[in-house]
Amino acid sequence: MLRRLVRLGAVALSLLVLAVVVPGSAVKSTEVALVKLDRADGVDVDPNLIWILAVGSDARPGQDMTRTRGDALQLIGMDTRTGAATAIGIPRDSWVPIRGHGYDKINAALFFGGPQLLGEAVGDLVGIQPDYVMVSRFKFFQAMVDDIGGITVRNPVAFSDPNLKPKGFGTGPIRLGGYDAMVYARIRYNLIRGDFDRSANQQRVLRGIQTRVRERAASPGFIDRGVLTAMQHLSTNLSPAELFRLAQAVAHVVPSKITTCVVQGSIGNVGGASVVLPFTAQARSYGDQARKDATIERC
């Protein structure tokens, strides 16, 4: 008690000394102002709930990336009314029916019928047809991450790849430039659960990108430059204005309202090829949960 009184006395004395010693402190009483500002934000995009299939193509230089095999598949939903967003990861080797082509690995749909057919295949699995399909290749993805100044992801398990990243990635929050973000999303070399873990890592990268875009969205011209870059490197039939609106929708997603899940499955063998037999009921459950508000309560 005595110690507390002494401490309070010392604080009071310090304030008194400041009041006496600081020049003009007696007359200039408002050098600092602390004012409460109310903030409101919102973006009107039609429809309010947008579904985008983001596809990372494994196309090599010179190949048409819309006619190769999708290496990364994430169905992303955004509710622009609430700022909620979700990503449903689809293992690329998922053995599913593809319209007009019988059963095959889901990523073959891009090769068979381009973005439209791939969108339909993913939509049939999850029960939500995407409004947009965006296909990009590794090089663009890498450049895009560099353009936004790198990202931070929270890595739960250390992993590496002798070719792509010999030193590997440590656990905890890690900073990734363009190349590292690209290989972080690609590696499955020593991930315990292979493609499922890789899909979850892709979602960590997406979170990192969204966070970075949100941080920098207020910087004049940042979104505009992003739209121009996207127009140069993305396969899209969207107008610049539509891309701008989408980019603003991404920037207005609230990080705490992001939920992510990966469609699980068992490993099977079809004609000598290893495939994922997806848990279709689970995929539908994710779709059912997220359809109205881009939120998945349970993975």
Partner 1 sequence: MRSTARRRAGATALALVLTLAAGACSGSDDEPDEPAAAPSSSAPAVPAVETTVVIGKLTGRLPKPERAKVVAAVGAVVDGWTQAAYVGGAYPRRDFADAWPGFTAGARALAKRDRALMSNQDIGHRIDGVELRRSRVVLDVLSVKQRAQAVTARVLVGFRTTGQVERAVRVQGRLYLTHGDGGWQVFGYDMTKGAV
Tell whether residue 32 is a contact of partner 1 (CB under 8 A): no
Residue 41 CB coordination number (10 Å): 9
Tell whether residue 252 is a contact of partner 1 (CB under 8 A): yes
What angle (nearest 5°) sits at the alpha carbon of residue 64, between those of residues 272 and 162? 55
Which H or E run includes 256?
A: none
The structure tokens listed for 245 are: 């609106």
Tell whether residue 211 is a contact of partner 1 (CB under 8 A): no
Q: Please state the closest distance from residue 241 (CB atom) to partner 1, in A.
A: 4
* Residue from 2, 5, 26, 218 binding partner 1 (CB under 8 A): 218
Residues in the chain: 299
Tell whether residue 34 is a contact of partner 1 (CB under 8 A): no
Nearest to 211 by CA among 149, 151, 136, 142: 151
Q: How far apart are CA 60 and CA 107, in angstroms?
A: 16
Q: How far apart are CA 46 and CA 266, in angstroms?
A: 38
* Residue from 26, 27, 32, 40 binding partner 1 (CB under 8 A): 40
| Beta carbon nearer to partner 1, 42 or 271 | 42
Q: How far apart are CA 163 and CA 84, in angstroms?
A: 37
| Beta carbon nearer to partner 1, 90 or 230 | 230
Which H or E run includes 12?
A: helix 2-21
Tell whether residue 254 is a contact of partner 1 (CB under 8 A): no
Q: Tell me which amino acid residue 282 is.
A: Q
Contact mark string toward partner 1, 78..107, x via CB under 8 A? ---x--------------------------
Q: Please state the closest distance from residue 152 (CB atom) to partner 1, in A.
A: 23
The structure tokens listed for 142 are: 């890498």
| Beta carbon nearer to partner 1, 80 or 203 | 80
| Beta carbon nearer to partner 1, 26 or 241 | 241
The three-state secondary structure class of 284 is helix
Tell whether residue 45 is a contact of partner 1 (CB under 8 A): yes
Applying the rule CB under 8 A, the residues between 115 and 174 that interact with partner 1 are none
Q: How far apart are CA 87 and CA 248, in angstroms?
A: 18
Stretch that binds partner 1, among 40-48, 57-65, 180-188, 265-273 (CB under 8 A): 40-48
Residues that bind partner 1 (CB under 8 A): 33, 35-46, 48, 81, 218, 220-221, 223-225, 227-228, 231, 239-241, 244-245, 248, 252
